[in-house]
Amino acid sequence: MKHEGFERLIREILPGMGYMYRPMNRRNIRRKVARRMEEKGIHEWDNYLDLLKKDRAERTAFEQILRVTITRFFRNAGMWEELGNLTARIWALQPVDRVISVWSAGCAGGEETYSLAMLFEQLTSDGKLSQDWEILGTDSDTNSLKRASQMIYRWGSVREIPGQLRERWFAEKDDSWILDPSAGQNITFQQHDILNDPAPDSFNMILLRNNILTYNTEPVQRALLSGLQKCMEPKGLLFIGRKETVPEDTGFEMLSDSIYCKTDD
């Protein structure tokens, strides 16, 4: 299958689905779409485009392919360090008997959700976090949630973890890295489609690190952020991707690169 046909397909179909046509990891997505076409017995990009235009169920399946399902522990490590500093400073002002609630939305295989648990454990042991905490990890992809529950990863997922943390939390076996089950003791995973399902509530922090603010159009971004703003506690934190930004007048104030705070209602 020629790449030109794939480019034509996504250029035509993405805007109508609320996505922007812009640079993305073409090779991985193209391979997944080609596999989906084989499953449907379709061999030409134009024929698959025709199916997407008329079949709502197939558009839903195509949208699942576009969403990020692979990430890494402590992706963009410097940002995690800054998140830890801000978290310790802001929550130091909260009552110690308050439970800190976090939503890791679009959690993929759980890498960033577990990263946050490791960060909280480190802050607690350092005396910088006094409150108990709980994390909800959600994703629309059931295979990703299964991977999160298995807690078994490849080197590509763990390579950015600081050495001491990797030794503390992982055991290497047969080219796999097995996460200590205790990392998940305060984490619940469940299926949830952030773009279509009602938002859970309420949270002191939301991780939104799945490129939704990269590939979706601004109206979709604003609608999503409005929902997130409503399910966050006052001064709640929003942690997004490294190259992403939050549109103005959506109820969030930038504290640091990729870290925002909910403004007063």
Cβ–Cβ under 8 Å, residues 106 and 138: yes
**What pLDDT, on the 0 to 100 scale, is given for residue 21?**
60
**What pLDDT, on the 0 to 100 scale, is given for residue 210?**
78
Helix (H) or strand (E) holding 151: none
The number of angstroms, rounded, from the C-alpha of 150 to the middle of its chain's C-alpha atoms is 18
Q: Does the CA dihedral 89-231-22-112 come out positive or negative?
A: positive
Peptide bond into 202 cis (omega under 30): yes
Averaged pLDDT, groups of 10, the chain, 265 residues long = 78 76 64 90 93 90 72 91 93 90 94 96 94 95 92 94 92 95 96 90 91 79 92 93 88 93 82
Length of the chain: 265
Domains and CATH numbers, the chain: 3-66 (1.10.155), 77-262 (3.40.50.150)
**What pLDDT, on the 0 to 100 scale, is given for residue 6?**
86
Q: Which residues lie closer than 8 Å to 69 by C-beta, 6 or more apart? A: 108, 109, 139, 141, 143, 144
Q: Where are the alpha helices (DSSP H) in the chain?
A: 3-13, 26-40, 45-54, 56-66, 77-91, 111-125, 142-150, 155-158, 163-169, 212-215, 218-230
Q: Which residues lie closer than 8 Å to 164 by C-beta, 6 or more apart? A: none
